[in-house]
Amino acid sequence: MKKLFTIAVMAIFSIAALNAQDYKYIGAPKCKMCHNKPATGDQYGVWSTKLHANAMKSLSNELSMEYAKKNGIADPTKEMSCLKCHSTYYAVDASLRGGINPNEGVSCETCHGPGSKYKSPAIMRSQEASIAAGLIVPDKALCETCHNPENPFHKPFNYEEALKLIAHPNPQAK
């Protein structure tokens, strides 16, 4: 079952990589440059306080270490079967990593796609232009890449409720 999960995750990320063309991941600090103001929703600040931002840290907690020991995993912070869902860096092809940091956890670009082509304010003013430049509008299927029964710590996943927990809208967006 784990093998099937690994194949499914890699297939999804491979498709995303193919669709990404030459788009590179720029890293959350670059997103922060524009997405850190309260007037526009402080998306970076919201993200930085949530579980996604701290996903790498969770691999070192007692529960993760206990699971690893029981399942023959020496170190979950170095195990690809864990890292692929806990860090954007490890989930994407090395050639696309650009400025992303391995310890960012599940970063902005996990959900919104590599930002190298849509990061400019001129493009970001238009959702259509942003999508044409690689922006992903996340959906349930994207979330379920990791939030699924193959995850050893899976809890029933309610997309609508999960979305409320990570909401970071721009109040000025039309």
Fold for 2-166, please state it. Answer: Flavocytochrome C3; Chain A, domain 2 (1.10.1130)
Global pTM? 0.82
- Does residue 41 carry a pLDDT above 70? yes
What type of residue is 132? A
pLDDT digits (tens, 9 = 90+) for 129-144: 999 999 999 999 999 9
- Dump the DSSP string for 107-133: -HHHHH---TTT-SHHHHT-HHHHHHT
C-alpha gyration radius of the chain: 16
Of the pLDDT bands very low, low, confident and very high (cuts 50, 70, 90), residue 22 is: confident
Contacts of 30 (CB under 8 A, 6+ apart): 99, 115, 119
Q: Which residue has the higher pLDDT, 11 or 72?
A: 72
- Dump the DSSP string for 133-146: TT-----HHHHTTT
Residue spans of the domains in the chain: they are 2-166
